[in-house]
Chains A and B, each alone.
Chain A
Amino acid sequence: MTDAAVSSRGRQWKRPPFITSPLLRWSLITGGVLYLALAFGTTEVNWTRVWEGLPRGKQFLLAFAPPDFTSRWDAIVDGVLESLWMTAVSTVIGILMSVPIALGAARNIASPPVYYFCRTVIAVSRSFQEVILAIFFVKLFGFGPFAGVVTLSVATIGFFAKLLAEDIEDMDPRQAEAVRATGGGWFQWLNYGIQPQVMPRFIGLSMYRLDINFRESAIVGIVGGGGIGATLNTAFDRYEFDSAAAILIVIIAIVMCVEYSSGYVRRWVQ
Chain B
Amino acid sequence: MATATRNGERVWRRRERGKQLAIWAGWFFGTLVFLGCFKLISDKTIWFFVTDAGHQAADLGARMVPPNWSYMHQLWRPLWDTINIATLGTVIAIVIAFPIAFLAARNTTPSVKFVRPVALLIIVSSRSINALIWALLLVAIVGPGVFAGILAIGLRSIGFCAKLLYEAIEEIDESQVEAVAATGAAGGQVLTYGIMPQIMPAFAGITVFRWDINIRESTVVGLVGAGGIGLELNTKIMELGWSSVTIILLSIIATVVVSEWVSAKVRHAII
Residues of A near any B CB (own CB < 8 A) = 15, 18, 35-36, 39-40, 42-46, 49-50, 52-54, 56-57, 60, 81-82, 84-86, 88-89, 92, 123-124, 126-129, 131-132, 135-136, 139-142, 144-146, 149, 192, 215-216, 218-219, 222-223, 226, 229, 232-233, 236, 239, 244, 248, 251-252, 255-256
Contacts and interface: CB of A to CB of B under 8 A. Distances in A.
Given A140-B57, A141-B53, 18 more contacts: A18-B200, A42-B81, A46-B145, A56-B141, A57-B141, A84-B37, A131-B132, A132-B249, A132-B252, A136-B60, A142-B45, A142-B46, A144-B44, A144-B45, A219-B133, A222-B223, A236-B137, A248-B133
Interface stretch (B2-10, B121-129, B169-177): B121-129
B38 interface: yes
Contact of B143 (A15, A46, A86): A46
Contacts of B49: 141-142
Q: Is the interface of A mostly helix, strand, loop or mixed?
A: helix
Contacts of A251: 128-129
Contacts of A226: 44
Interface stretch (B66-74, B102-110, B111-119, B214-222): B214-222
A85 B37 contact: yes
Q: Is the interface of B mostly helix, strand, loop or mixed?
A: helix
A99 to B, nearest CB: 15
Nearest to A58: B141
Given A46-B145, A56-B140, A222-B136, A39 B87 contact: yes
B184 to A, nearest CB: 15
Interface residues of B, number: 58
7 contacts: A43-B81, A56-B141, A89-B34, A89-B37, A124-B253, A141-B50, A233-B136
The 9 closest A-B pairs by CB, nearest first: A142-B49, A49-B143, A255-B128, A146-B45, A85-B37, A57-B141, A127-B256, A45-B147, A140-B53
Contact of A53 (B40, B88, B132, B142): B142
B220 A146 contact: no
Given A223-B223, A248-B133, A252-B124, A45 B140 contact: no
A221 to B, nearest CB: 10
A231 B82 CA distance: 28
B14 A35 contact: no
